[in-house]
Amino acid sequence: MYWELVESYRTARGPRQRVVAYLGDVVEAERRGVEQVATKRAGWQSSLFDENPEPEWVEIDTRRVHAEGIRDFGGYWLGLQACDRIGLIDFLDAVAPGREEIPWSMMAIVLVLMRLCEPSSELRIAEHLYERSILNDLLGIPADKVNDDRLYRAMDHLLPRKKELEKHLKERLGELFGIEYDLLLYDVTSTYFEGESAANPQAERGYSRDHRPDCKQVCIALVVSREGIPVGYEVFAGNRNDVTTVEEIVKKIEKQYGKAGRIWVMDRGMVCEDNLEFLRSGGRRYIVGTPKGQLKRFEQQLLTEDWQTIREGLEVKMCPSPDDRETFILCRSKDRKLKEKDIHERFEKCLEKGLTKLTEGCLKRKYKVGAVERRVGRLLQANSRAAGLFKVKVTASDGGRAIVAWEKIEVWREWAELSEGCYLLRSNITDWDAAQLWHAYIQLTEAEAAFRIQKGDLRIRPIWHQKEERVNAHILVCFLAYVLWKLIGQMAKRAGLGNEPRKIFDEIAQIKVVDIVMPTKQGTTLRKRCIAQPTEAQTILLQRLRLSLPQRLKIHEM
């Protein structure tokens, strides 16, 4: 006989039931234990672990004792702990419709945990990864019940709850870690497709941050807090210009969470006068980057010595705007100066070598002026960081031979040397000093780190789905996995372990689970699913994170 753990609940259309877990062909003692746990309304995970069991005394043939079925445990278990902390399972259960054999909410949890621990396609999860994982035991879902159709349906059900999920996660993370969301960091990235994606109108070719201009892509606009906690995101067409997304994103956030006294931080790719006027018109405050071309306006301020040092190798200076509506912040970095100087010198050498070679080639062979001009154009484009230093002129001799003449513009070099390492910020905040404004702007690295994690650890790219809805659902699953990642990071920060969860997650993920097979004198065989004892380092991490590792799992024969 096979057993299921079923929960009854009331709806507007009368009482309904949903399956909480599949227990399989369990023995009577285990069935009663599950029943007692359910009656006492204990945590959902309690029935999965065999804690403080009654002693069982049997005679074992020690020569035939062996281990089998070694599987990864720690990463999935830690991810499940994170899901529990933010109430993700309860939230999805509450919005799960219908009376499906396997609730789509649990299939969604499978997708998120797999994305966190072993990112792969839905098909590979269904055919290979799930049965090799410990999720069968942790979630109580038999491997033969997990197929690509169920996983795709879970994605279809999950996507319409995107806005509700964003609100729930923002509020829950704010409660857990005291996050105020007073400073919002906004950035845009892109991720590319494999295939034509003809069924997705958002799939377009555009500026590729992944250096794949040959592929169609979509743009992902992400808003995070100063701690990197995601607040919300939107998916735009792959050819959408960053500057055109600002108003839409700001209105989205304000519609979801209200018009609070937030400060918007954006890089220079988002800046145009229309966007700044939009922010000012709504009484919004901002700190934004500024195109380097505007530095020329502050040449005199660059020459003076009244800089404020805010850390070694970094100086800032406040410069009010002529209309007093904004403040410009000049920043000068020693490390950045050395880097830009090296770039200028490298490109200058390349250009000089290329132009010298082209000049000598024109003396040896007869080239047409148009062909040489195109070669010069390509050379300047390839070395654009030093192109302004060279003045190049291509003319035709009396015999029609192309002649190349070039010289260096020393005025350009002088300005380059003065402005190397310098960049410009602007803000309409009047009650902060230059150091505070710079520290707020530099938090944009959190948004950039979010994209690196999604593309690296969570492998959001490339996207194999072709339909728009499935693409958006795939991005949502990656978003939820990133939330778990940041939650673990916040847990680590609170425990004094830094706020980078990568090493912590990798260490705990090494904890294994193994089946111990013990033949008895009576001719029967006992199987115990044991969790390997953590190493000393793993034990310390678990203690600091205030997590208790269970001793063993109950085996549910399916």
Q: Does the model's pTM come out above 0.85?
A: no
Instruction: Find tokens 């197929």 and name the residue.
Output: 147
How far apart CA 246 and CA 267 sit, in angstroms, is 11
Beta bridge partners of 427: 287, 327
What does the block give as tokens for 427? Answer: 């803000």
DSSP characters over 359-386:
HHHHHHS---HHHHHHHHHHHHHHTGGG
Which residue from 300, 285, 253, 291 is spatially nearest to 269, judged by alpha carbons? 291
User: Alpha-carbon torsion 173, 177, 183, 188, what sign?
Assistant: negative
CA distances from 48 to 277, 342, 415, 556 (A): 57, 59, 68, 9
Look at residue 253 in the predicted model and tell me its pLDDT. 95
CATH ID of 161-286+432-466, from 3.40.1350, 3.40.50, 3.40.470, 3.30.420: 3.30.420
Look at residue 51 in the predicted model and tell me its pLDDT. 55
Which residue from 382, 390, 336 is spatially nearest to 359, judged by alpha carbons? 390
CA distances from 417 to 303, 328, 338, 345, 383 (A): 12, 21, 10, 11, 17
Low-confidence ranges of the chain (pLDDT < 50): 12-14, 29-30, 33, 37, 39-44, 46-47, 556-558
One-letter amino acid identity for 312?
E
For residues 516 and 528, is the Cβ–Cβ distance under 8 A?
Answer: yes
What does the block give as tokens for 345? Answer: 């010198």
Report which secondary-structure segment, H or E, holds 475: helix 468-494
Q: Outline where DSSP puts E strands in 12-157.
A: 14-24, 66-72
Look at residue 46 in the predicted model and tell me its pLDDT. 47
How far apart CA 191 and CA 211 sit, in angstroms, is 10
**Degrees, nearest 5: CA angle 430-434-439:** 110
Look at residue 259 in the predicted model and tell me its pLDDT. 82
How far apart CA 402 and CA 390 sit, in angstroms, is 18
Which residue from 199, 184, 376 is spatially nearest to 286, judged by alpha carbons? 184
How far apart CA 126 and CA 133 sit, in angstroms, is 11
For residues 219 and 213, is the Cβ–Cβ distance under 8 A?
Answer: no
- Chain centroid to CA 284: how far? 27
